[in-house]
Structure 1
Amino acid sequence: MTDYIAYIVGGDSWTPCYVSIYSLLSNNPNRRFKIFILSEENKSVKFFNNIDFLNDVHGDFEVEYIWIDETQYDDFPRADNGQNHLTNGVYFKLSIDDFLPIDGNVLYLDADTIVDGPLDDLLDRDMSDCIIAASPDRLNRILGLDIPNTKRYFNAGVCYINLNNWSDMNIGEKAIKYIFEKNPDLNDQTAMNVTLHQLDMVDIISPEYNAHGHWAKEFQKYDENPIIIHYTGRNKPWHYWTKRPYKKTWVSYCSETPLDNYYPQDKDLKSYLQSKQHLIERTVSNLLEPYPVAKRSISNAYDALVKQ
């Protein structure tokens, strides 16, 4: 049986994606994988020239590159504030069933993830009665959304998706329509939460499959080992000045690959000052989380000030 994995890659995420794939293959030697790389860009030479190294790590996998014509999304909404990240990748993700030439289930992973353990329990779970299995977000952002408050807001950076149900229920189309109408701050993530929770087709799974933010700190605090580490936010583990849980884990995996010279990035003074700025911004953002209207107003004002 083949397990399907999907990444959406572009810009500076090619090397992090390679490191993520390396970690996946290293810790799951007994599974057969087909890994889809979706991108609007041409193939990364450095990425694909080093596939042979991965073949030495794991002998039963295949990588398929899928180029996506970005012009089909030219008329779609784009970012209008600092919290909104409406890129082509958002629409690629919501339209994932249109691009993958498979049926069944696929594990979508953001490129800034590390698979630090076996995925057997996740990949073998019964998905027939749901559309998505995902871990809770570090914050339950249900307030103000058209979702019962008994539901839990999930993080969409790691999603195990039943593609057949996703397609049959037109999830991508409904989520994109929600973005057109509501322009939510966390675009695809919020659109997916609203669309899928309204259908009651979400299986909330353990944070060990998406340890990010608060969850990562809790796992590290109690010396527990999450299975998938997700390095959300702007301060990534490959940035020299970044201090965050499990940074050394990412650096360790990277150092074992042919792309080990990718770390460290941004070692200069300007990057150091930017890292401190991002830390302050993230702290203020977290404090304003319970007040979404005020958060958006302050964010818009701050962005306008910074651009001057």
Structure 2
Amino acid sequence: MSQTYFDEKEVILSIKDYNYLSDAGISAFNIAYGIDKNFLYGCGISIASILLNNKDKRLSFHVFTDYITEEDNKKFSSLAEQYQARITVYLVNCDKLKSLPSTKNWTYATYFRFIIADYFTEKADRVLYLDADIACQGSVQELIDLEFSEHEIAAVVAEGDINWWQKRAVSLDSPGLVNGYFNAGFLLINIPCWAANDISRNAIEMLRDPVVASRITHLDQDVLNMLLVDKAKFIDKKFNTQYSINYELKTGVPNPVNESTVFIHYIGPTKPWHDWSDYPVSQGFLRAKRESPWKNDRLLKPTNANQYRYCAKHMLHQKKFLKGLVSYLFYFQKKIAN
């Protein structure tokens, strides 16, 4: 039997299955997300964007979350029906994750990918894990057709350049990273190979190791890079094209998104579901929103000091001066209150 760290009977509290796929005997391509309540909105639109651009594919989506409302479930059900797809929502017990390292930017939800990989052990040969701040604008057929060699645990996309890889190799005391360091927001996981190497258990044990914890800055992403040295298949950046909407505030920052891009990964604190992110790079996300059950939902307004600060900067950059000044006032008010 394959090895897993997480027992699904302990971590999966409930399952809602919205299955509108025809021909039940034909397999579908599995795509999974691990999110907390702050990313439910983004997750719904991310799924819609994939469905909108892959109407001829049999796709099965899996949403692992520790929070879900009846309204959210209704929308996921409607989305599955609209595109004749399958969306399964798993309510997760996170007790085993809450003692692991976390930061202001990364909560324990970042570790859901380990629950996901273990859940699919002996259920599927592969699953595509995606962060919820990823939008699709192309076909996933290459990923469906991709072949792994015997030792390859996951298909990944490199982050940064050789200088960044060398820095991570030194910081993490993992020399093999000089050949490539990947962003863990996109992982096409070879499930049997992941289980055979007991990746989830090894990753959790490393995260609990004080020596390792003192080195890492990118939590499980760092640990996965260390574990997958010489065992990852690096693929084209079009499958994880990273871009921060806050780059719009700077001059001379090239936008890597182009017609060949399949997945846009909106890194950084400003997301395309924020109402201050009105730029061309957000249009793929907004198009998918219009073609989804979230079409009448408003984009999110700022709720904390950091968001008001970025909102103010973007409003001024977009020459919406009054909104920018008002946002700065709210920013200072929130800052003083804290």
Compute the RMSD of aligned alpha carbons: 3.0
Q: CA deviation at 1:203?
A: 0.6
Q: Partners in 2 of 1:52 and 1:93 — Cα distance? A: 23
Q: CA deviation at 1:233?
A: 1.3
Q: Partners in 2 of 1:267 and 1:66 — Cα distance? A: 28
Gapped regions of structure 2 (runs ≥ 5): 1-26, 248-252, 315-334
CA deviation vs aligned residue, 1:257-306 (integer Å, no higher than 9, x gap): 22124343226996774217999xxxxxxxxxxxxxxxxxxxxxxxxx99
- The secondary structure found in structure 1 opposite 2:95 is helix
Q: Partners in 2 of 1:306 and 1:82 — Cα distance? A: 19
Gapped regions of structure 1 (runs ≥ 5): 280-304
Residues 96 and 273 (structure 1), Cα distance of their counterparts in 2 relative to 1, 3 Å cut: closer
Residues 18 and 64 (structure 1), Cα distance of their counterparts in 2 relative to 1, 3 Å cut: same
Q: Partners in 1 of 2:303 and 2:193 — Cα distance? A: 48
Contact 2:273 2:299 in 1 (8 A): yes
Contact 2:117 2:189 in 1 (8 A): no
Q: CA deviation at 1:115?
A: 1.4
- The secondary structure found in structure 1 opposite 2:185 is strand
CA deviation vs aligned residue, 1:125-178 (integer Å, no higher than 9, x gap): 002431110111135344222132541111110110011111110111122222
**Residue 294 (structure 2) pairs with residue 259 (structure 1):** yes
The structure number with the bigger radius of gyration is: 2
CA deviation vs aligned residue, 1:230-271 (integer Å, no higher than 9, x gap): 111111112122366611221222122221243432269967
**Residue 132 (structure 2) pairs with residue 111 (structure 1):** yes
- The secondary structure found in structure 2 opposite 1:160 is strand
Match of 2:285 among 245, 250, 260: 250
TM-score, structure 2 as length reference = 0.71
- The secondary structure found in structure 2 opposite 1:155 is coil
Residues 217 and 105 (structure 1), Cα distance of their counterparts in 2 relative to 1, 3 Å cut: farther
Q: Partners in 2 of 1:13 and 1:114 — Cα distance? A: 13
Q: Identity, % of aligned pairs?
A: 23
**Other-structure match for 1:49:** 74
Contact 1:7 1:36 in 2 (8 A): yes
148-157 vs 92-101, which moves further: 92-101
**Other-structure match for 1:126:** 147
Aligned length: 273
Match of 1:69 among 93, 97, 115: 93
Match of 1:201 among 231, 251, 254: 231
Contact 1:135 1:204 in 2 (8 A): yes
Contact 1:147 1:194 in 2 (8 A): no
**Residue 157 (structure 2) pairs with residue 135 (structure 1):** yes
**Other-structure match for 1:190:** 222
Q: One-letter code of the match for 1:70?
A: C
Residues 95 and 205 (structure 1), Cα distance of their counterparts in 2 relative to 1, 3 Å cut: same
**Residue 192 (structure 2) pairs with residue 164 (structure 1):** yes
**Other-structure match for 2:242:** 212
Instruction: Give the alignment of 1:22-41 within 5 angstroms.
Output: 22-41=48-67
Q: CA deviation at 1:57?
A: 4.0
Instruction: Give the alignment of 1:231-250 within 5 angstroms.
Output: 231-242=266-277, 246-250=281-285
Residues 185 and 306 (structure 1), Cα distance of their counterparts in 2 relative to 1, 3 Å cut: farther
**Other-structure match for 2:330:** none
